[in-house]
Structure 1
């Protein structure tokens, strides 16, 4: 099953559970209590969506950083071929000497 299909069924299941809980609460709670519960449910959903958005944003930022580092590391052999020293490359690419040395060995 693909990732989007799993997410769809996860959402369906969550909605069914939420519906079941709300039906049970409707049978038990007074009107005022139901209003409080619904407000809390809405607040939870908003928090959950905000958390998802934040997670996606952080993931994109991490991906960009990893991509930048990968590009720097891939350029090291070309810079060595041009005659730059390991120290010069580290300084030019703003990398640690150890990162440059490891890239030259791998």
Structure 2
């Protein structure tokens, strides 16, 4: 099964579970209790979305850092070919790291 099918399936299941809980809550709770439950549900959804955004941001940051590291590693053979010593390359790459 592909990712989009799994994501769709998860969304449908989440909606069904939410609907079922909502129906059960409506049957047993009084109006004031329903309002509290709906507020908690909204708070949960907001937290869930914020958590997803935070995860995406962290993933992007890690990806950028990894890209920078790979670029530095790829530059080493060219710097060696230019005749730089290992110490000079290490110093240059450390300096580039401080600048970033």
Q: Give the structure-1-normalised TM-score.
A: 0.86
Q: CA RMSD in A?
A: 1.1
Is 1:41 matched with 2:41?
A: yes
The structure whose RCO (Cα within 8 Å, separation 6+) is larger is 1
The gaps in structure 2 that reach 5 residues or longer are 96-100
- Aligned-partner Cα distance in 1 for 2:92–2:75: 11
1:59 Cα shift? 0.2
Runs (4 or more) in structure 1 with deviation over 4 Å come to: none
| Alignment of structure 1 residues 65-104 onto 2, 5 Å | 65-94=65-94
Report the secondary structure of 1:94's partner residue.
helix
Aligned residues: 95
Q: Give the structure-2-normalised TM-score.
A: 0.91
1:58-103 per-residue CA deviation (whole Å, 9 max, x = no partner) reads: 00110000000001001100100101111111111118xxxxxxxx
